Amino acid sequence: MGFRDDLVQSSKERSSRIIVSLDITGPPEMRVDRALGLVRSIDGELAGVKFHWHLLLPGGLKGLKPLIGFCNDRKIPVLADIKLNDIESTNLEAVGLLYDAGVDAIIANPFVGAEEGLSGVIARAKELGRGVVLLVYMSHAGAGEGYGLTVAGEPLYREFARRTRDWDADGAIVSAKSHQVIREVRSLLKRDQFILCPGVGVQGGKADRDVIEAGADFVIIGRSVVDAVDPRATLRAFNASMPAP
């Protein structure tokens, strides 16, 4: 079993294609406790969770131990959205600490390249049964200014999709708002590589049959769940709007 299998199993057991992004704000000293309470309340309605600097900076890995430990115990895959983008020695140090803390997968930026960049990270992940997901097309308004740049006659995101395939990463991050990009990326990946789509809800993307038919496997939802009056009911509604996994 590895990250891909674990995410599929969690998705099927919980009948959910949703990875909840723990975009917790408010007093820094209360964020990890709030995140843990949220995950406890919505367990059964989500395929996995994702955290980034909202929690990692104020909590640190030691402070995140109760949250990660709960997810590990409940077999909820945990993604660290650090958009890894450095030289290999630094990258290996970062992922070593994250994997040792119980994180199941990290998100990395393919721009840094493979040699002395991400090749060692992907190899280490495979040794440990963990995952690496590559950032192919983001969901904010300015994403096209970078990921859509034309390089050698085609947009950069297509090259990043090929890197996802050729480096045998576990999947690609592609905006839920860009169905054409999802379709293009899907055509370039291996069948067992995931597409995870952020940008649902507050940013304008939809969790519906259309995004799944375009090629998405999972959607990532943050503020629309985190800030909801009833996060569990909100997740159930999102789950009902998509085909079952």
Read off the pLDDT of residues 229-240 as tens digits, 9 standing for 90 and up.
999 999 999 999
Three-state secondary-structure class, residue 149: coil
Q: Is residue 107 very low, low, confident or very high in pLDDT (cuts 50, 70, 90)?
A: very high
Structure tokens at 12: 């099927």
C-beta of residue 185 within 8 angstroms of C-beta of residue 137: yes
Give pLDDT, residue 169: 98
Q: Which domain holds residue 48?
A: 3-240
What span, in angstroms and rounded, lies between the C-alpha atoms of 188 and 185?
Answer: 5
Q: Is residue 143 very low, low, confident or very high in pLDDT (cuts 50, 70, 90)?
A: confident
What does the pLDDT look like over 199-228, one tens digit per residue? 897 787 889 999 999 999 999 999 999 999
Quote the DSSP letter at residue 200.
B
Structure tokens at 79: 């993604």
What span, in angstroms and rounded, lies between the C-alpha atoms of 218 and 2?
Answer: 17
Question: Average pLDDT in the 184-210 region?
Answer: 92
What span, in angstroms and rounded, lies between the C-alpha atoms of 20 and 23?
Answer: 9
Examine residue 245 and state whether it is found in any structural domain, yes or no. no
Examine residue 218 and state whether it is found in any structural domain, yes or no. yes
Predicted TM-score (pTM) of the model is 0.96
Judged against a pLDDT cut of 80, whether residue 1 lies above it is answered with: no
Per-residue burial over 109-123, b = 16 or more CB atoms within 10 Å of its CB, e = otherwise: bbbbeeeebbebbbe
Per the prediction, the chain carries an average pLDDT of: 95
Structure tokens at 222: 């943050």
CA pseudo-torsion sign 96, 190, 145, 220: negative
Examine residue 159 and state whether it is found in any structural domain, yes or no. yes
C-beta of residue 240 within 8 angstroms of C-beta of residue 231: no
CATH of the domain at 78: 3.20.20.70
Q: Is residue 141 very low, low, confident or very high in pLDDT (cuts 50, 70, 90)?
A: confident
What span, in angstroms and rounded, lies between the C-alpha atoms of 212 and 38?
Answer: 26
The neighbouring-strand residues paired with 21 are: 50
CA distances to 10, 75, 95, 239 from 40, in Å: 15, 13, 26, 18
Per the structure, the count of domains in the chain is 1
Residue 83 falls in the annotated catalytic set: yes
Structure tokens at 103: 């994180």
Q: Which one from 83, 126, 177, 190 is the annotated catalytic residue?
A: 83
